[in-house]
Chain A
Amino acid sequence: QSALTQPASVSGSPGQSITISCTGSSSDVALYMFVSWYQHHPDKAPKLLIYDVTHRPSGISNRFSGSKSGNTASLTISGLQAEDEADYYCSSYTSSNTMVFGGGTKLTVL
C-alpha cells in the first residue's frame, strides 16, 4: 500500500486560510469515507482534527474543515493562527483492511 501524497510544506499569514491536499487511489481515499487528519506539534502526541472526511471530534475548532473529491481529500484551516504551525497528516482506510498515512505537510505561519 503506497503512502498518500501530501505537499511537503504550505504557508500562510495569520488570519488567512490554507488548504492541504491528500491524494490517494481507488483503493483508499476514493473508495471510502474514512479519511482522517491529524495535527502534530513537535514532542507532543498527534491530535485528531477530522474523521470520516468531514467530522470534527469534540473540542476541535470549526476553523478546521475537511472535504473529499474523488481520490483527493483536503484539509482547510481558516483564520490561521500562530499555534496552527505544526505538521499535518492525512490517513485513509484501505481496501486491504489497513490504514495508510500521507507523508505529512509542514505548515508555517508567516
Chain B
Amino acid sequence: QLQESGPGLVKPSETLSLTCTVSGGSISNSVYYWGWIRQPPGKGLEWMGNIYFAGNTNYNMPLKSRVIMSVDTSKNQLSLRLSSVTVADTAIYFCVRFSSRAAFQWGPGTLVTVSS
C-alpha cells in the first residue's frame, strides 16, 4: 500500500513537501520504481517524475527546475519537494509504484492547495 502525507495548504512561493509511506513490500525491490502524478482540480493527470531506489531520477521537463524526489530505504518512504509553488500547483498528488513504464499501484492521493 501507498499512503501520502503532508500539509494540505502551502503558501505561494513556498515549498511543497510530501511523503509517501510504502507498506507491504520493500521500496528497494528493483522490479519497481516510484514516482508522483498529480491532478489539478477539473483537469487531467500529469506525470511529475519518477525515482529508482538507487536514487536515479527522471522529471517532467516543465517541473524539472523546481522538483526533487528522493527515497529513504530505511523508512521505506519516498518524498516530493516542489519549490516556488503557485496556485497552478494546487492539485491532488498521487504517490505511485511503477513497473514496465506503467503506474501499477496508486496511493489514495492528497489534496494540496496553494493559497495565501
Chain A 13-46 per-residue mask, 1 if CB under 8 angstroms from chain B, else 0? 0000000000000000000101010101000111
Additional 10 contacts, C-beta under 8 A, given A1-B60, A1-B61, A51-B101: A34-B100, A36-B101, A36-B103, A46-B94, A48-B104, A52-B100, A89-B44, A98-B59, A99-B101, A101-B44
**13 A-B residue pairings within 8 Å (CB atoms):** A32-B101, A34-B102, A36-B102, A45-B106, A45-B107, A48-B102, A52-B100, A89-B45, A91-B102, A99-B47, A101-B45, A103-B44, A104-B44
CB pair A91 B47 closer than 8 Å: yes
Q: How many A-B residue pairs have CB under 8 A?
A: 63
Q: Is B108 an interface residue (CB 8 A)?
A: yes
Q: Which residues of A contact B (CB under 8 A)?
A: 1, 3, 32, 34, 36, 38, 40, 44-48, 51-52, 57, 89, 91, 93, 96-104
CB A91 to nearest CB in B, in angstroms, measures: 7
CB pair B106 A51 closer than 8 Å: no
Q: Is B14 an interface residue (CB 8 A)?
A: no
A34 CA to B98 CA, complexed, in Å: 12
CB pair B101 A45 closer than 8 Å: no
CB pair B103 A98 closer than 8 Å: no
Given known contacts A89-B45, A103-B44, A104-B44, A98 and B60 CB-to-CB distance under 8 angstroms: yes
CB pair B104 A51 closer than 8 Å: yes
CB within 8 Å of A: which B77-116 residues? 94, 100-109
